[in-house]
Amino acid sequence: MLKIDILCIQSRVAREVLGESTGKIIENKETWWFNEEVQQKTQLKKEAKKKHEQTREEADRVAYKQCNKEAKKAVAIAKAEADDQLYNELETKEGQGKIFRLAKQRNKSTRDITHIRQMKDENGKVIRKESDIVERWKQYFEHLLNKENERLIRGSGDPNHGMVRDISKDEVELSLKKMKSGKAPGPDMLPVEAWKALGDEGVHILWRLMKEIWDGEKMPEIWRQSTLIPIFKEKGDVQNCENYRGIKLMSHTLKLLERIMDRRLREEVHIGRQQLGFMKGVGTTDGIFTLRQMMEKCREKQQVLHMVFIDLEKANDRVTRDEVWRSLRERGVPEKYVRIAQETYREATTRVRSTVGVTESFVVQVGLHQGSTLSPFLFNVVFDVLTGAVRENPPWCVLYADDVILLAKSKRALQRKLEHWREALESRGLRISRSKTEYMTTDTDGDQEESIQMDGIKLKRVTSVKYLGSMIEPSARLDKEISHRIQSGWNNWRKVTGFTRVAREVLGESTGKIIENKETWWFNEEVQQKTQLKKEAKKKHEQTREEADRVEYKQCNKEAKKAVAIAKAEADDQLYNELETKEGQGKIFRLAKQRNKSTRDITHIRQMKDENGKVIRKESDIVERWKQYFEHLLNKENERLIRGSGDPNHGMVRDISKDEVELSLKKMKSGKAPGPDMLPVEAWKALGDEGVGLHQGSTLSPFLFNVVFDVLTGAVRENPPWCVLYADDVILLAKSKRALQRKLEHWREALESRGLRISRSKTEYMTTDTDGDQEESIQMDGIKLKRVTSVKYLGSMIEPSARLDKEISHRIQSGWNNWRKS
């Protein structure tokens, strides 16, 4: 058969041409850039060294020195070439992936999961013999993947014998393109990279293979096999098999077929909008947002909200195959698709690969494949069918795969909902965990031990719960969420230390010539005096070289060190005591900020350019240039219509009160640079009650500008969201380009007739229409505005698709930059 021949040939050729790895973790050495020439030179060097150590003859020593020199040269050239290639690849997804893989291997190497050489049997007894551990893994997963929960047996459903289209070459090509590289292959040892390397020829071969499987509804026997890898869940006893999740390594070529099936099934089946897991356009943030919004709205209306977080026992591993096929038929899926899905599960076998060895293969008859491309959507279909009669519309029911939240405004209503869900799920073979399902309520005044029940068992009541990675509290506050994120940030920072180390080793590290940044912030008068005496004594000793002067210098040095130690300890103690206060935190951040500023050379710029772009170096000329620039900037008016000064309002106003002055003084921040009078606000604050009595940097200027802007734009301003203002940052929105062009012209007339000019070069245009002419834009005064595909607005990256990809990348980059500063 074509498929058998292709698989045998491809697998054999791939091994011969590409080689075969052992599968072990790559050693954490800088040998990732080794090439064939380096290996040969290194081997010659080793042989020459061994020969010289045996003979100790001069000729062999010279030969070894020459081989060593050539090996070093080859290493230097290979490493430089590899570094250059990595630098060039850094802007690509593959280059970034290479760096992160190196760092990830380092992070994994710090864990001891791969070195666990003992486990516990079903009775909790520790077993150390490797054959017993291998047998324990087989026993655990064979029982897990072949056990069904009690359920009502139903018919197989009515098949839909409708026609389906053949597999097209475009479908195969798209599926191949979507497959990620660098993943562990299945038992056929044929990675997706081999197909990608074949280019168009590989797509053609795959298409013929898929077409034969599609028509004959029979796949190669090797695709029925898989290797199951136990992955530790990062919680619980590391020696307990139940704390591991089994992920199957399946054939990459089978996953290509599953991708095609997944895309077609999504076209055929509609999943309820309550389901957010593995569905296009929605995700975890939608679930978290829905829950938080509901809690906040109830808090605003002073209403009580009751919630139950349902946890299913081994959901994917307990789904019966009969329910999967019946659910597909209930949703009207063509029988052809059902039969092909059944073929991927027929006579499926697996074997467990652990740190001590590989088990024998065993049959898997229950559950969905963990690691399969098709499994997430098959589970969603089953879950949608099973819960169709009990599901409510959002926000009263929120699903993310098998994570379920039920909400109600009374405990009795929630109890009733939970019972309906229990009957719907457990009658079909899915069991709700009595120990892990949790209850929470926003009612913090009642009995804190009170909860709801299931099967007579009282559910655990919690005061916080981790839902989809976010910490939820009854008060809907973010205190625990922020603490959790900070802790997660620290944990990830520790992981990333592997990345920073790899980056230094692979990419190198510049000296930077950072300006000296001594810790002199804690200097006091005594330290300065003692230090000055030490310097004078040292200078005197260097001039005279007499013993008495040396002794005096030693004494001064000792006293200066003692004064420094005392001053630094006192300053540290004071800083520790102040850390809980706003001022103490500010002091810490100012120190970090000063250190960051000291790495910049802005304060050392000794040359500028004049209005013609010519470099000037004379200090008096530079001073005059600054005056000239700002004098022109701050005294030039744009053209405008001259109007009257307006009718004055001679109404009465109240006198300034002492409370107003005191409040204003309290609001003023300390530590700011004073004006020409050299009188900082701290001086007034230090006087206490005795002291209470439109410029850039003025406290009044922002509001004065808002008043002016409000008056000038009053006739053209629309209500939100069609017009959004933040000081002088303006966004105009419209549903058509013509309407937006008209709005912009009105704004231009309103502003420029009063002296404010809209920038032609910096004003930008963006649209969500990504299908039309990408060069098309709107105009102002006959000048075509710049069209952008993303814009930074108030610190956030906005894209036409409204996705968060660039925003997330921007925040990660900002995080890195701030981390470097700190």
Query: Average pLDDT in the 114-136 region?
Result: 86
Could you tell me the two tokens for 29? Answer: 């050495």
User: Measured between alpha carbons, how far is 765 from 89 in angstroms, rounded to an integer?
Assistant: 32
For residue 55, what are its two tokens? 């003979």
pLDDT in tens, 450-465: 899 998 899 999 999 9
Confidence of residue 378 (pLDDT cuts 50, 70, 90): very high
Among 311, 543, 517, 520, residue whose Cα is nearest residue 433: 311
Instruction: Tell me the residue length of the chain.
Output: 822
Over residues 576-581, the mean pLDDT reads 64
How confident is the model at residue 514, as a pLDDT? Answer: 40
For residue 652 the two structure tokens come to: 């009465």
Mean pLDDT of 193-222: 93
Q: Give the pLDDT confidence score for residue 3 in this predicted structure.
A: 47
CB atoms within 10 A of CB 766: 18
Take residue 96 and report the two structure tokens written for it: 């970034």
**For 766-808, what is each residue's pLDDT tens digit?**
998 888 788 889 998 889 999 998 898 888 888 888 887 777 7
Amino acid symbol at 605: I
Q: What is the pLDDT of residue 197?
A: 92
pLDDT score recorded for residue 374? 95
> What is the tens place of the pLDDT at every residue in 91-124?
666 666 666 666 666 555 445 455 577 899 999 8
User: Residue 349's pLDDT is what?
Assistant: 96
- Residue-wise pLDDT for 40-71, tens only, equals 998 999 999 999 988 989 999 999 999 999 99
Structure confidence at residue 29 (pLDDT): 47
CA dist., res. 599 & res. 505, Å (int): 22
Average pLDDT estimate for 59-84: 87
Q: What is the DSSP letter of 569?
A: H
DSSP string of 104-141, one letter each residue: HHHHHHT--GGG---EE-TTS-EE--HHHHHHHHHHHH
> Whole-angstrom Cα distance, residue 822 to residue 817?
9
Higher pLDDT, 757 or 804: 757
Predicted local confidence at residue 646, as pLDDT: 78
Percentage of the chain modeled with pLDDT above 70: 81
Q: Cβ(400)–Cβ(285) under 8 Å?
A: no
Compute the mean pLDDT over every residue in the chain, rounded to the nearest whole number.
83
At residue 484, the pLDDT reads 82
Confidence category of residue 20, pLDDT binned at 50, 70, 90: low
Is the confidence at residue 820, as pLDDT, over 60?
A: no
| 10: three-class secondary structure by DSSP | helix
Residue 516: the pLDDT is 41
Reported as a pLDDT band with limits 50, 70 and 90, residue 1 is very low
DSSP structure string for 619-661 = HHHHHHHHHHHHHHHTTPPPPB-------------PPPPHHHH
Phi, psi dihedrals of residue 728, rounded to the nearest 5°: -100, 10
Rounded-to-integer distance, Cα 7 and Cα 189, Å: 10
Label residue 698 by pLDDT band (50, 70, 90). Answer: low
Taking the C-alpha atoms of residue 182 and residue 192, their distance in angstroms, rounded to an integer, is: 9
Phi, psi of 312 (to 5 degrees): -95, 140
Amino acid 77: pLDDT: 87
Task: From 81, 44, 82, select the one nearest 60 (Cα to Cα).
Answer: 44
> Of 20 and 746, which is predicted with more confidence?
746
Indicate whether this model's pTM tops 0.85.
no
Which token pair is 28? 């954490």
pLDDT at residue 25 tops 60: no
- Look at residue 230 and give its three-state secondary structure: strand
Residue 378: CB atoms within 10 Å: 26
Range with the poorest average pLDDT among 418-427, 535-544, 702-711? 702-711
pLDDT one-digit tens code per residue, 388-424: 999 999 999 999 999 999 999 999 999 999 999 999 9
630-679: pLDDT as tens digits: 888 888 887 777 777 778 887 777 877 677 777 887 788 777 777 776 66
